[in-house]
Amino acid sequence: MTRSRLDPVHVVDVFVYVVVLNLAIQLVPAVISETFTLSLLTALLLKLVLEGVTWLKKRTLAHLRAAQTTARRTVSALSLLLLLPGSKLVVLYLVDVLFGDRVSLGGFWAVTALIVVLMLCRAGVRRLLA
């Protein structure tokens, strides 16, 4: 029997997300979390959503590169164009559904900036630890 083990990289990612999210809560008035527990749960939600989006983006890019017809290339490119802003809307929707008024990540542009900073910090910490 093999036991599934949580990769330490994912745990470090969540810690990075918690730090960045709590800095955003302190520095950006539109980003709100009532408690540390909620910010931890929000960071976990962000980790799950961003992992899913990254997986979908890689898969869509692979389809785009492998496409041999203009129609398939166009569909893959349009899918990618819908995926990137759509993922931010999914994050906002899930935060609203799961946490209601107790957590707010601001609007579309605030969550976009937050996600960019999260990804940059995650990449920096991964590079630092590699």
Residue with tokens 């946490």: 99
- Note the pLDDT tens digit of each residue in 35-73: 999 999 999 999 999 999 999 999 999 988 998 999 989
Of 1-10, 75-84, 100-109, which one has max mean pLDDT? 100-109
Q: What number of residues does the chain have?
A: 130
Model confidence, pTM: 0.86
Q: List C-alpha distances in Å: 123 to 6, 13, 16, 31.
A: 19, 9, 10, 22
| Token output for 87 | 């993922």
Read off the amino acid at residue 45.
L
For residue 16, what pLDDT is reported? 96
Burial class of residue 118 in the structure, from the number of CB atoms within 10 Å of its CB (0-12 exposed, 13-18 middle, 19+ buried): buried
